[in-house]
Structure 1
Amino acid sequence: MKKLKTMALLIVTSVFLFSCNGSESNQTSDNWRDLFDGETLDGWKSVMGDATFEIKDGVIVGTAVANTPNTFLITEEIFGDYILEVDIMINHESSNSGIMTRGQFDPSARNGEGLVYGYQIESDPTERAWSGGLYDEARRGWLYPLDLNPNAKTAFKMGEWNTYRIEAIGNEIKSWINGQEVAYVVDDMDSKGFIGLQVHAIYDEAHAGEKTSFRNIRIQTENLEPKAFKGDVFVVNTGLNELTELEKQNGWKLLFDGQSSDGWVGAYKNTFPEEGWNIKDGILTIEGTDGSESTNFGDIVTTDSFSAFDLAFDFKITEGANSGVKYFVTLSEGNTGSAIGLEYQILDDERHPDAKMGKDGNRTLASLYDLKTANKQPRFVRKPGEWNQGRVVVHPDNKVEHFINGVKVLEYVRGSEEFRQLVKNSKYHVWENFGEAVEGKILLQDHGNEVSFKNIKIKTLK
């Protein structure tokens, strides 16, 4: 009897130790698995640059090396759907970092030196404060800059440990920092990949030796329970004319269903144009003609009118194209040509002459046409033939913001003295109280060039 009890105790003890140590996968009882054992870099490898990674007191410390490319410590294991948590600490603003999420590696790129690319959740210690945003490393650039969620810019703390939570489940990637909801992206370019820790390239010798630290790296890959966003967070969706449940809950509606012209008519007309505006494969396209303004197939407007709203739309221009999205269009001015309204300019700045007209660039892409210039950097703009995301937010207090690909490029206040002075010095001075209507329609412009639209969605603001 004593031998049986001893054997039973040994079995129980062995099972207990086996579960605590996690066996070969370090699986813990609450479904988390450690990716870093605190003592070695087993299961990880360094690629691309020459920055170093070492372990100090259970922490992975990356040290910057000048004049070398971005360096990544990546997992040898590939992951599909998962929930990841990791703590990051940065002590200097030069130490930009990030976490590769379903990362990709091409060992033959850069003459055999290799290239890391794909989704990266940012760690941005600069004044810009885009930590937690989603950057498409070495590919499309920013998918979710934190201008889309300015309330989250204070989540990351310099010189302190910051806990990141990243969910990559299906075609959705969501991020949190220290419990704060940050980015929400729907995109299907990569369904699996490695996890990577970045030490950013630096080219100032004075910043060599700066540290980026990582600890408590753990993952769930089974029985995943996504954590729902509860706040009013903007969602970047690169799909086709679809809304997430969060967007629906927060009041977003599609203005274009991808299949019909429902909700749209020709400007000054009761029906949708019979030709020129085409719907195919979920895309709304105006045919190119002679480049003249609203003299061919005509503009189209929404049947509904809007006051305070958040409007987002994807657009793709052809080379040399000109178009626009107008708002607060009343159709009451009795003018000929394009209907009058405040205009988010859509333009090929490099090839269309309108970019050099007006004043100080106020007719360039994303500008408030002929009134205020968009303060944008070329690296945030995608070239003709690629999709760009435009956004216009009209707040209940009449503050208006323009965005291009998630980056805010201008703001103004309708009805303010500054606004009225801009109108006075523009082509719109002939219309009384221009741009100050209580409500108006949304307009897509026919300017004689081929331009396509999709993912047109709007939310009423109160």
Structure 2
Amino acid sequence: MKFSSFIAAVFICMGLACSNPVSEPNTLTEKEKAEGWQLLFDGKTTNGWHMFSKPEMKHSWKAENGELTTASSDTTGTHGDIVTDAVYANYELVFEWKVAREGNSGVFINVQDDTSYMATWATGPEYQLLDNQNAKPGYLDGGKTGAGALYGLTPIKNKVEPKAAGEWNQSKIIQVNGKISFWLNGAMTAEEQIGSEQWNKMVAESKLAVFPDFGKATKGHIGLQDWAKGVSFRNIKIKTL
């Protein structure tokens, strides 16, 4: 290649790089905005989220270093699950998460935010977040409670491991008319239809059967679990389908 051609190629590549910048955490590209994506976390505040069934209560979740996070050692607020102010039915939700060593958390969908329910998990199915590598022996329950699982109902569909504790994972949840699919680091981990014969059978045979309204709604709040050791989220984005 001639030197002049080489220089031209370099400038072309630089131009392309400038026109396709890497998105900063907790921001939307112009393309994402055009496609209808919305941020559920602005990277700076906990706006848009509140304590489950207690919207006025000060909770322990914080926005720190561009992360929506909580830790068991934090005593500045009440510990508990938080949920979105808004409700959602048909959508694609993407988010990044990491847990501390031995961390255990979850993302709930279709949560009914009502004081008549004791917790988020009394109504909303859970996308499990877990430090698989350091889970207690037997805890994974054949894959039903590992990272990416539809918690307590069915083993993950495709073998995939979460990143080590403290490293970011990429997850996705899609729901359309009650058909849900979970994804972890590019692999589908669950796919079920809420209300189907198979769904009802799974719920009835699980420990979640003690909650009469569990897994019946196909619309509700999205919840984040404050459970053990600490968890952080970023790049929480949703698009209505």
Pick the TM interval, shorter chain: 0.7 to 0.9
Following superposition, the deviation at residue 338 of structure 1 comes to 4.8
> Residues 382, 421 of structure 1: CA spacing in aligned structure 2 closer, same or farther, 3 A cutoff?
same
Residue pair 2:90, 2:240 contacting (<8 A) in 1 also:
yes
Structure 1: distance between partners of 2:139 and 2:230 = 21
Q: Structure 1 length normalisation: TM-score? A: 0.47
The size of the alignment, in residue pairs, is: 236
Corresponding residue number in structure 2 for 1:310: 92
Structure 2: distance between partners of 1:367 and 1:171 = 38
1:350 matched to 2:140? The reply is no
Letter in 2 for 1:393: I
Corresponding residue number in structure 2 for 1:371: 153
Letter in 1 for 2:209: H
Following superposition, the deviation at residue 324 of structure 1 comes to 0.3
1:270 matched to 2:201? The reply is no
1:55-454 equivalent positions in 2, closer than 5 A: 82=13, 169-170=17-18, 172=20, 187=22, 239-271=24-56, 273-274=58-59, 276-289=60-73, 297-332=79-114, 334-340=116-122, 341-353=124-136, 356-357=138-139, 359-378=141-160, 381-396=162-177, 398-454=178-234
Letter in 1 for 2:126: E
> Residues 438, 281 of structure 1: CA spacing in aligned structure 2 closer, same or farther, 3 A cutoff?
same
Residue pair 1:301, 1:442 contacting (<8 A) in 2 also:
yes
Q: Structure 1, residues 135-171: CA drift from partner, whole Å, max 9, x if none?
A: xxxxxxxxxxxxxxxxxxxxxxxxxxxxxxxx95248
> Residues 168, 389 of structure 1: CA spacing in aligned structure 2 closer, same or farther, 3 A cutoff?
farther
Residue pair 1:261, 1:272 contacting (<8 A) in 2 also:
no
Structure 2: distance between partners of 1:255 and 1:285 = 14
| Structure 1 unaligned blocks of 5 or more | 1-21, 34-78, 84-166, 173-185, 188-236, 291-295
Following superposition, the deviation at residue 316 of structure 1 comes to 1.1
Q: Structure 1, residues 400-437: CA drift from partner, whole Å, max 9, x if none?
A: 11111222222111111111111111112123353121
Structure 2: distance between partners of 1:333 and 1:435 = 17
Structure 2: distance between partners of 1:280 and 1:171 = 30
Q: Structure 2 length normalisation: TM-score? A: 0.86
Q: Structure 1, residues 84-143: CA drift from partner, whole Å, max 9, x if none?
A: xxxxxxxxxxxxxxxxxxxxxxxxxxxxxxxxxxxxxxxxxxxxxxxxxxxxxxxxxxxx
Letter in 2 for 1:324: G
Structure 2: distance between partners of 1:298 and 1:350 = 25
**Greater RCO (CA < 8 Å, at least 6 residues apart):** 2
| Structure 2 unaligned blocks of 5 or more | none
RMSD of the TM alignment (CA)? 2.7
Percent identity of equivalent pairs: 33
> Residues 430, 410 of structure 1: CA spacing in aligned structure 2 closer, same or farther, 3 A cutoff?
same
Letter in 1 for 2:173: V
Q: Structure 1, residues 381-410: CA drift from partner, whole Å, max 9, x if none?
A: 3111111111100023x2211111222222
